Amino acid sequence: MNFRNRARDEPEINLIPFIDVLLVVVIFLMLSTTYSKFTELQVNLPVANTEAARDYPKEIIVAVSSDGRYSINKNVIQSRSLDALATALLAANPPSKNSKDMVLIISADATATHQSVILVMEAARRAGLSHITFATQSASGKP
C-alpha cells in the first residue's frame, strides 16, 4: 500500500464560463429593459392668476378632501360612489333650472388622488354639467 502524501492539486476557478453567463445576463437585461427619457416632453404648466378670478352666479362647488371625501356646496356626501355623487349633483342642479349656465367648480386638495377628481368629472358628465373649472390658490397661499 502506498501511504505517501500526494501533492494535492490546487483547485482553480475557471472564469471563462462565469464570464459567458454574465454576458448572457447583461445582453438579456439590455434587450428586455425599456429606457424612458422623461426630458423628451417639455410641458409648460399654466399659471393661475387669482386677481382675474371670475364670479359665477350659477355655480356648484365640489370640494375633494385628501382622503377622498366629497362635499357639494358645503354639504358632505356620505357615500364615495359615482352614483351617489351624480345624484347629489343632480339634486344641486335640478333639471328645471337652466343647466347650460351652471358652472361646476372642483376644489380639490393638493394631495387628493387623481381618481377622486376624475370621479367628480364623470359624475358631472352624468348630471349634464358641461362647464367645469378648477379652483386654485396663489403661491402665497391665499385662495
Q: What is the pLDDT of residue 112?
A: 84
Name the residue among 95, 31, 88 with its Cα closest to residue 60.
88
pLDDT score, position 98? 57
Distances (CA, A) of 23 to 14, 15, 111: 15, 12, 45
Task: Spell out the per-residue pLDDT of the chain, length 143, in tens.
Answer: 666 676 677 777 888 989 999 999 999 888 887 665 544 444 454 455 655 555 556 888 888 888 888 988 888 888 889 899 998 988 887 665 555 678 888 888 888 888 998 999 999 998 888 888 888 776 655 55
Collect contacts of 5-14 with beta carbons under 8 A, ≥24 apart.
none
Query: What sign results for the dihedral spanned by CA atoms 94, 99, 101, 104?
Result: positive
H or E element that contains 72? strand 70-72
Specify whether domain 54-134 bears CATH 3.30.420.270.
yes
- For residue 47, the model assigns a pLDDT of 54
Give the pLDDT confidence score for residue 43 in this predicted structure: 45
Per-residue pLDDT at 109: 84
pLDDT at 53: 54
Q: Is the pTM of this model over 0.95?
A: no
Contacts of 64 (CB under 8 A, 6+ apart): 70, 106, 107, 108, 109, 112, 116, 117, 120
| CA-closest candidate to residue 70, choices 138, 123, 130, 136 | 123
What Rg value do the Cα atoms of the chain yield, rounded? 32
